[in-house]
Structure formats: structure tokens, C-alpha cells
Amino acid sequence: MILELHKKLKAGNISAKELAEEYLKIAEDKNKVLNSYISITKDYAISHLPDKIESILDGIPGCIKDNINILSTNTTAGSQVLKEYISPYTATVISNLDKFTLIGKGNMDSFAFGSTTQNSYFGPSLNPHDINTVAGGSSGGVASAVAAGSAVFGIGSDTGGSVRQPASFCGIVGLKPTYGLISRYGLIAMGSSFDVIGIMANTVDDVALILNEACKYDPKDSTSLNIKKKIDYSKFSDISKLKVGVLKFNDDGVEKDVITAFSNSIEDIKKLGCSVKEVVIDHLKYVIAAYYILVPSEISANMARFDGIRFGYHPKGVKDLEEFYIEARSKFEDEVKRRILIGTYTLSSGYYDAYYSKADAVRRLIKQEFDEAFRDVDVIVSPTSPTVAYRKDKVFDNPLELYLSDIFTIPANLIGAPAISIPNGLSCDNLPTGLQIMGPQLSELNILSLANKLYKKYG
């Protein structure tokens, strides 16, 4: 879609202003129902239109998750504590995308803590496939916007599946690249050793084109990878000799329609000429436990800056510093408070060795197992999510129910590997299911190439 729009813009068949106005109108109309956007940036979009169409993304309408800073725009991270915050600078990934048209800032779970967008201060985003279901999270607003056609592409963040899971729920493509491939400078941090900026679009071709523009070395990000050899991710490689590992998993809690779609995908992979073998990761059962100790620990440290003095809600009329802090931090949403408390506890004296150190050791063991598996196979496939999109009125009495839904997506973040979700079918209720393809670090071309072949069949 991006290539076709680029050709039309380049030929003058449509102007950047006409395209922007068309998508802004769609966004305004659909947002009344879907709540995909926290803010629709009409004035910004019109005032930043390119004078000349040169790069592939010039004038292409996009949605950016609202935890990514763009100069002079409101960046809320989905929380009331930042609802008045105006960014003084622009994230590197946005600068790399050059002169795209910003349609709006996508809705999200507060500070990216969640998987339904129901933790957003601005209300949940809904799924265009069925407005009685959620769009997923935490990048649910971006996925909803792309799936609804109010943006051509979206940029989100993925700390444990926050690009891939909503992509699966909304029936689009979502890529989490290798850790460090896309600069995180300008992203509001959640878990700094897990956070990755990811890409969402309606086709694998579009994701590849955006990745080409987004992944440039950035000295402002100490984790940014300086890759000497430039790869064109849109030039897909031959996958007929690809060795594909099928992740063995306990299907308790995995919906029947998800298992059926996954089994069908395995057969489709075989038909492409790929060899297929089962992959067993013994420590897979510890993934959730390790992640939900390590990430809240990093959250606890990262959230310290939102104290009402440097950033966040600034109380007025309080009598002393203690009351100031209590009032400022009481404005955090419940899930934010929960994760800060968990992280502070696991880092505290007397519990650090009992929890954090052990979880970090498990992380290393999981990485070792996946590294060993990738010596035998080129990629590993699994469902993206154990379920299709949840109904918006579903009540999760125990947060652990939601945490368990990340079982397939978290490993890629634990080991810093790339993974992509593509739609691979529909449930009996006509809700999308997703297939995840994960590879070793810097294997984006392999996973995109296989994803593209399969997407051509499913799309």
C-alpha cells in the first residue's frame, strides 16, 4: 500500500494535503467509536506536509503510540499524570521516518502497562473487527487505527508483546525488531532492557519498507546497534530451504480456534518447501515468572522520575514534601501502582537475591536454550496469543490471568530477538488469530521473508 501511495504522490495523482485530509476525516469519524487516538493532530499534520515527495514515506499517513515524543505535541503515555505534557524534542525514530504525515497519537495502556488498553486514562480502544472486543495492548490504539484504515502504518513499543499481541487481535502485521536495531531515544521507558520500538501495518511489504527507514544507528541511544552492512528488508530472500522450528507448548488455556489456525499454518509452511521440526524449550514454563519480576523492577527505577517535580502531576496547595509526593503519585493508574510496588519490593534489601537475581539467572538460561535451538533451526513459530481478542466487558479478577496471555510473545523480549505476528485465520466468531515467527538476533530478513510468503496466502 505504501509503494502505491508513494507512486500516486510522486506522479501528482493526489497531493500530500489531499491524502492527509482524507485520512484525518476517517480518523475523526472512526475515533468516535473505536477510541484509537488520544489526540488527532490535524494542525500538526497540515503544517508539516512535505513540499516535495522524495523519500518513500513522504506524505504517508501514520499513527504514533503516545509514549513516543514528537516536538510540540502532547505526549501522555496514556496516563493522567502526563495529560498536560508537551514534548520539547522529537524521538529519533520519528526523525528517521522523515516527512510522513502524523495523523495522531495512538491510545495505549497507561505507561504501556497492560494488554487491553483498558488501563488507559482515556478509555479503552476497540477492535474494528468487533467493537464488543478490545484492540489489545499496550499498543492497542495504534493497531486499531491501522486495522480501521485511519492510518497506513503505526509505530508502537513492544516490551513483552505490546506490538505483536494487538496486531494479532486486530488482524494486521506487527514486527518487534532485534533489541537495539531501532533507536529508543525519545521513547518513555518501561523496562529499559526489554523495550523495543516496533512497526504495524496491513502488509509485510509495508512493514519492511518502514523498517528500512527506521533502523539507523543513533549515538543518542547507548544500546543502538551500529550495523555496517545495510540490508534492504523489502528484498525478500528465498525461504524454500528455511529450517522452521515449531515451539512445543502446553495447550492448556490456548483456545481451540488458535490451535487449529496454528496447525494449518504448519501445513502451509511445509508446502512452501521448508523443513519443520519440533523445538522444546525446557524453561518456557518460567518465562512469565521471570518477566514479571524483572520488568517491574526496571519499571520501579524508571517511574521514579515521575515525582511531580521533574515530570508528572504537580500538586498545588500542599503543606509539606511528604504530602506533595503522596498527592503526586496517587494520580497513577492502578496497574502502574501495582507494578511499581512489585518492582520496589523485588529490589529491596533482603529480597533482591531471593527474587531479582534468580529471575535474571532464569533469563540467561532461557536465552541459552533459544540460542541452542537456533543452531538447528532458522526460525521458531508459535501462536502469537493463546486467545483471540477479549470481550470489552470481560472482567479479570486476577491480574495474573492477563499476564499469562503473554506466554508466546515474552521470550523474544527476554532474549532480544526479532519476532513478527501475521494474521493466519479467523475464529468461529470471525475474530483474527495470529502466527508468530521468531528468529535469532538480526534475522529480520528471514522472518520477514517467511512472513511475506505466508501473508500472500492469508491476505
Cβ neighbours around 123 below 10 Å, total:
12
What is the b/e burial string over 322-347, where b = at least 16 CB atoms within 10 angstroms of the residue's CB?
eebeebbbebbbebbebbbebbbbbb
What is the full DSSP assignment across 137-206? SSSHHHHHHHHHTS-SEEEEEESSSTTHHHHHHHTSEEEE--TTSS--TTBPPSSTTT-EEEEEESSHHH
**Residue 55 DSSP symbol:** S
- CA Rg, the chain, in Å? 21
Of 79, 110, 139, 162, the active-site residue reads 162
- Written as nine digits, the cell of 46 is 497540515
348 belongs to the catalytic site: no
What is residue 247's three-state secondary structure?
strand
Q: 436 φ, ψ to 5°? A: -105, 135
Cβ atoms of 454 and 422 closer than 8 Å: yes
CB distance 373 to 279 below 8 Å: yes
Cell reading at 62: 501514520
What are the backbone angles phi and psi of residue 128, rounded to the nearest 5°? -60, -25
Beta strands across the sheet bearing 379-383: 37-40, 101-106, 61-65, 153-158, 196-201, 173-176, 419-426, 432-438, 379-383, 243-247, 275-279
Catalytic one of 30, 36, 65, 125: 65
DSSP secondary structure, 252-285, as one string: TT--HHHHHHHHHHHHHHHHTT-EEEEE--GGGG
C-alpha dihedral sign at 158, 163, 169, 173: negative
Q: Identify the active-site residue in 138, 144, 157, 421.
A: 138
Indicate the SS3 state at residue 70: coil
**Backbone angles phi and psi of 331, in degrees to 5:** -80, -10
Q: At what angle do helices 140-148 and 16-34 cross, to 10 degrees?
A: 120
User: Is the dihedral angle over the CA atoms 264, 267, 273, 278 positive or is it negative?
Assistant: positive
From the number of C-beta atoms within 10 Å of its C-beta (0-12, 13-18, 19+), residue 167 rates as: buried
In whole angstroms, give the CA distance from residue 75 to residue 85: 6
**Is residue 138 flagged as an active site residue?**
yes
SS3 457: helix
Catalytic status, residue 162? yes
Q: Rounded CA gap, 173 and 203, in Å?
A: 6
Residues annotated catalytic, as ranges: 65, 138, 162
